Amino acid sequence: MEVTTPKRSGTRTEVADLYRAEGPRIWRALFASTRDREVANDAVAEAFAQCIRRGDAVREPRAWVWRAAFRIAAGELQRRGALDDLPPDLPVTEPEIDRVMPALASLTARQRTVVVLRYYAGYKPSEIAVILGTSAPTIRVHLMRARRRLAELLEEADET
């Protein structure tokens, strides 16, 4: 995975640079994972806000904001008690996205998250384990099942 961000967040300008480099990708990954724009908006804004507040205390800002954003989103979904209860309003966008999003929606919440972090964000299983606070073997199992299921769903979508 390409790493272009500074090691320390330092100034607000550097956090702004980090936002421009990573913010949209984090938001898309969160939205694909949660399918909830409000959760994605809130998690991204709060993660970067906390990164600004902590300044130099954040040693690896890029990894930190990814991790913080997913933690915030998971916390919010847990509070709602609806981890697998997807909002019904799919975005009306382009055909390619309308093909991918329903396929992702057919996975479990954890499968959706690991597959997005792996194949969209480009993280390794060991890195996903750190982001989600679990073990790499557990991530690999979720990933194996998610990959198989998602490939089947996309093949079906391709045929229709």
Partner 1 sequence: MRRDLTRDLQALDRLSVPDLLEDAERRALGPDPEHVPGPNPSRRRLVAASLAVAVVGLAIAGFVWLTDAFRSSPTPAEPLGSNYVFSNVTLEGSTLDGEAESFMIRFEVSWSDETPPGVHRCVFRLIDEKGAVVGVRVDWVLWEPSPNVAVDLPAVGDARPVSADARCDPERLDTPGIANIEESIVPIVDEEGRIEDFSEELNRRIDAWSQRFSIGSMSQDELAANVTALRDAFGSVPTDEPNADLDELIGRISRLCALVEPTVAVRSC
Interacting residues with partner 1 (CB under 8 A)? 12, 15-16, 19-20, 23-24, 27-29, 31-32, 39, 41-54, 57-60, 64, 67-68, 71-72, 75-76, 79, 91, 93-94, 96-97, 99-100, 115-116, 118-120, 122, 124, 133-135, 137-138, 140-141, 144, 147, 150-151, 154-155
Task: Please give the Cα distance from 111 to 33 (Å, whole number).
Answer: 9
Task: Please give the Cα distance from 32 to 142 (Å, whole number).
Answer: 16
Task: Please give the Cα distance from 54 to 19 (Å, whole number).
Answer: 15
- Residue 137 CB, nearest distance to partner 1 (Å)? 5
Nearer to partner 1, 88 or 133 (CB): 133
Residue 137 has which token pair?
């073997």
Nearer to partner 1, 10 or 49 (CB): 49
At residue 34, what are phi and psi to the nearest 5 degrees? -100, -20
